[in-house]
Amino acid sequence: MKALVWHGAQDIRCDSVPDPRIEDDRDAIIKVTACAICGSDLHLYDHFMPGMEKGDVMGHEFMGEVVETGRGLNGTLRKGERVVIPFIITCGECDQCKRGFFSVCERSNRNGHLAAKAFGHPTAGLFGYTHLTGGYQGGQAEYVRVPMADRTHIKVPDELSDEQVLFLGDIFPTGWQAAVQADIQPTDTVAIWGAGPVGQMAIRSAILLGAKQVVCIDRVPERLEMARAGGAITIDNSTESTVERLNQLTAGKGPEKCIDAVGMEAHAPRALEQAYDRVKQALMLESDRATVLREMIYVCRPAGILSIPGVYGGLVDKIPMGALMNKGLTVRTGQTHVNRWTDDLVKRIADGQIDPSFVITHRGSLEDGPELYKTFRDKKDNCIKVVLRP
């Protein structure tokens, strides 16, 4: 079969690889009908995340049709059913899964010992996202093996198109969880850093959850345009001061809720800060650039909440702990507990409350994938979200 395969930094190729096969009774094989390139795939593309190996198949946002099932699925999934696959693999049986904290499933990461070395404890297995998270092959392919498939799936109604439901596997519930865990009140100003796909979903989620005012910070004009379309006030941090504008918009008090939808590869608008972080990264003295975290801590209203869906992989530097502690800020973060939210979100799409396909700007085949990775990474041609059809 054809698949997008990681060969090294900025080197992803459309290769022929062996078809996946059932390896465990709880497995299913999915014929992929649509898959997306996620912003977090770019951390692998640029090799910011450790733990990739040559030959790994990329992709964790995908959907398709069940074509083969293991003997242990007990009727939960049948051939021919149409499913979106969440990017996290969940066993459904461990303590964390029973509590609904699927992204920290204790059993699905077959390389949990590696994750435990890095993070202290294992976290859930992920598709196509390094050997720290299990080394499972990803979904930017014609077929995928889905482990623990009896729990790792989202059934979707036939009347909804692939493009309407595809993002239930990652960016939509990720933006949703980011907004939900910010505990948005009707009087809140919610500031969202990053107008990429997750930021766009977080804006719409904050509106649905009833925020009085949503403010989005970015520097890419077409992304800011799309953010405004979704109801956000925008700040172009290449031309104006984020802190000054946020204070203006909140009578000097700062936003109650701040969401970091940027993560480890943030660009600082201040030359000195950007140079500092780039040099420390180059010297391997830090792995992630904490620009957005610093700004959120500084500008957030005391007793406010910081929600962090943006991906971080390792160590950051110069976190203003004094401000964080003395302002009494609450930090909520984590990979997304996808299945916790998706039943509700499917209904909201079916009810016409939201149509997540608004974010798609580029479409292509798997063969187009390597070029579209570059287009997406470089934000060329107004690229915000890429969907591939194998």
Q: Which of residues 60-119 bind another protein (CB under 8 A)?
A: 99-100
DSSP at 103: G
Distances (CA, A) of 15 to 21, 89, 130, 167, 383: 18, 25, 18, 25, 24
φ/ψ of 239, rounded to 5, equals -125, -10
Per-residue x/- track, 186-225, another protein (CB under 8 A):
xxx-----------x---xx-xxxxx-------xxxx--x
Q: Which stretch binds another protein (CB under 8 A): 32-40, 104-112, 132-140, 376-384?
A: 376-384
Identified binder of another protein from the candidate list 274, 287, 314, 331, rule CB under 8 A: 274
> Which 288-347 residues touch another protein, going by CB under 8 A?
303, 330, 332, 340, 344
Q: Which stretch binds another protein (CB under 8 A): 23-31, 85-93, 129-137, 348-356?
A: 348-356
- CB-based contact 345:176 (threshold 8 Å): yes
DSSP β-bridge partners for residue 19: none
The 10 Å CB-count burial string (b at 16+, else e) for 277-296 is beebbeeeebbbbbbbbbbb
Q: Site for another protein (CB under 8 A): which residue of 4, 149, 354, 372?
A: 354
Q: Segment contacting another protein (CB under 8 A): 27-35, 78-86, 263-271, 316-324?
A: 263-271
Task: Confirm or reject binding of residue 263 to another protein (CB under 8 A).
Answer: no
Task: By CB under 8 A, tell whether 120 contacts another protein.
Answer: no
Rounded Cα–Cα distance for residues 176 and 345 (Å): 9
Which amino acid makes up residue 371?
Answer: E
Chain residues 23-62 in contact with another protein, contact rule CB under 8 A: none
Of positions 106, 265, 317, 355, contacts another protein by CB under 8 A = 355
Residue 141 or 195 having the CB closest to another protein: 195
Q: Which residues contact 323 (CB under 8 A, 6 or more apart)?
A: 297, 298, 329
> What is the rounded end-to-end Cα distance, in angstroms, of the chain?
10
Residue whose CB is less far from another protein, 146 or 206: 206
